Amino acid sequence: MKENYVIGVDYGTDSVRSIIADAHTGKEVAAAVYYYPRWKDGLYCDAAKSRFRQHPQDYMEGLEHTIRTCLAQAGKAVTANIRAISVDTTGSTPVAVDETGTPLALRPEFAQNPNAMFVLWKDHTAVKEAAQINAHAATFETNYLQFVGGIYSSEWFWAKLLHILRVDEQVRSACYSWVEHCDWIPFLLTGGRHIKDMKRGVCSAGHKALWAKEFDGLPPDAFFSSLDPLLHCYTSRLFTETYTADQAAGHLCPEWAERLGLSTSVVIGTGAFDAHMGAVGGQIEPYHLSKVMGTSTCDMLVAPLEEVQGKLVKGICGQVPGSVIPGMMGMEAGQSAFGDAYAWFRDLISWPLLHFSQGKELIDRLIPELTQKATAAPPQENDILSLDWFNGRRTPDANQMLKSAITGLDLASDAPKVFRSILEATCFGAKAIVDRFNQEGIPVKGLIGMGGVARKSPAIMQMMADVMNMPIRIHRTDQTCAVGAAMFAATAAGIYTKVEDAMNAMGQGFDSEYHPVPAHAAIYEKRYQRYHQLGDFTVQQTKYEH
């Protein structure tokens, strides 16, 4: 059998990871990670304003560093047999570009301007714009939000574009088009020179940019220009056609072939979001909710098109044919804060340690130690209760204005007890997503866990099984998103005719499964109802405040 290897590149929130995988067995032969230096230094961000921006140089440097490192690990024989590269990224993480498709931050005059950089998925500066899009859409006979759960989010494409155009006149004047991170990297690797040549993925287009076959593409210009004249003509500079991630975007251009040490014969696949490719890397099955659990969660579900025809699930992040597996309906949901909620509490209680150098080495141990202590005892019905909305609510029913709450505190409330309530809250938020699918006629028949939290936190996964009152299988692959990208690369290169074949051949299977403890599940069901009551109260307070 001819040797074939593929590269999967996974752009996360804090770093980019690349792997080289054997295209026939899925075996990982090399891996490398690169932490974004500008992001790590906190540049261009302001958490108090929910502004989170990333510089394209971080992405480019990370791409070159990780792939070159992988190739050095793998050796010349493997390097000579690299067939394809596919990329996944966070999203919606768009950027303003000029007519050549170059992000404005790569031009000298915009090099330090946050508004010219990628607007990270968790940036919520466009809350006002999202609310206006929702109100505006309600005035149209055609429901342009029907395929994105009926609510447009400040985390998404159009809200972010409108916000940037409004707040920065210089960027507005130079911005020719608006591009998702997952579409820009393949364009970069293939040597794209004009924005019209960029192949946009159906994943990002359908879930975040309101693209749908039923609309013959994007909603019409009149929809956007009547919202704000600043959006006039943007649809004409965007796209009509979209591509599934099993399709090639082109071949590696000479410039990047030289930078990476690869051949120009290497195929570059169409890009997609991390959780969508991660679901494939984690061997998603129809009606099994695949949960990629990291700083946030992104939950993917696929179903045969003919079985869900005509069903629209309210309050999720969209349902798009082919966005996960071509030929199947892809449905996305998720939580805006998961691991981020745990990190918030860690940082809160470690504030003194951060200011005294001798305590810094203890901080990395806090979350594991807290988790162990917090989960040592069984759940109690009247324990401290929290909401998981530390970064707003993604689904069900997007509302980034919402805040978290912690109730039931007294003088006996110590750090492990409060932390346990936060762990439970993230599990309750996950259950709310499952309930919404079930209520809308899309049965969730199983759970698949992936990502750092799923792999590293058995106690949290046991809690998840108890709260859901369903078993959850944990995929054995540490880098499911990068592995999923590798599977798509193998398909784009023609090694497999469809991504399901790549998934079956390259998938590494599951190495653990958590089953609910009936006594715990009964208590959590009561606490879950209280979670909803606290949530309803908090929603009302938010309405009053705003």
Per-residue pLDDT reduced to its tens digit, 87-113:
999 999 999 999 999 999 999 999 999
Percent of the chain with pLDDT over 90: 93
pLDDT higher than 60, residue 75: yes
Mean pLDDT within 36-61: 96
Compute the distance between CA of residue 230 and CA of residue 474 in angstroms, rounded to an integer: 46
pLDDT higher than 60, residue 19: yes
Compute the distance between CA of residue 66 and CA of residue 71 in angstroms, rounded to an integer: 9
Q: From residue 326, how far is each of 40, 184, 330, 408, 442 by CA, in Å?
A: 36, 21, 9, 48, 19
Q: From residue 291, how far is each of 220, 277, 301, 400, 446 by CA, in Å?
A: 34, 12, 9, 21, 11
Q: Is-contact 7 489, C-beta < 8 A?
A: yes
One-letter identity of residue 52: F
Comparing C-alpha atoms, which of 6, 456, 21 is closest to residue 268?
A: 6
For residue 448, the model assigns a pLDDT of 97
Residue ranges and CATH numbers for the domains of the chain are 5-273 (3.30.420.40), 283-476+516-546 (3.30.420.40)
Compute the distance between CA of residue 303 and CA of residue 52 in angstroms, rounded to an integer: 34
Q: From residue 145, how far is each of 150, 308, 394, 525 by CA, in Å?
A: 5, 18, 15, 33
Question: Tokens at residue 443, please?
Answer: 């049965």
pLDDT band at 362 (very low <50, low <70, confident <90, very high): confident
pLDDT higher than 60, residue 545: no
Strand pairing report for 118-119 and 53-54:
antiparallel
For residue 542, the model assigns a pLDDT of 77
For residue 357, the model assigns a pLDDT of 58
For residue 363, the model assigns a pLDDT of 81
Comparing C-alpha atoms, which of 145, 165, 291, 161 is closest to residue 206?
A: 145
Taking only the tens place, the pLDDT of each residue in 372-426 is: 999 999 999 999 999 999 999 999 999 989 999 999 999 999 999 999 999 999 9
Taking only the tens place, the pLDDT of each residue in 126-175 is: 999 999 999 999 999 999 999 999 999 999 999 999 999 999 999 999 99
Q: From residue 410, how far is each of 100, 174, 406, 415, 524 by CA, in Å?
A: 59, 55, 11, 12, 21
Burial of 75 (C-beta count, 10 Å sphere; 0-12/13-18/19+):
exposed
Q: Is-contact 83 489, C-beta < 8 A?
A: yes
For residue 128, the model assigns a pLDDT of 97
For residue 358, the model assigns a pLDDT of 57
Mean pLDDT of the chain: 96
The H-or-E segment that residue 88 falls in is strand 82-89
pLDDT band at 543 (very low <50, low <70, confident <90, very high): confident
Taking only the tens place, the pLDDT of each residue in 169-208 is: 999 999 999 999 999 999 999 999 999 999 999 999 999 9
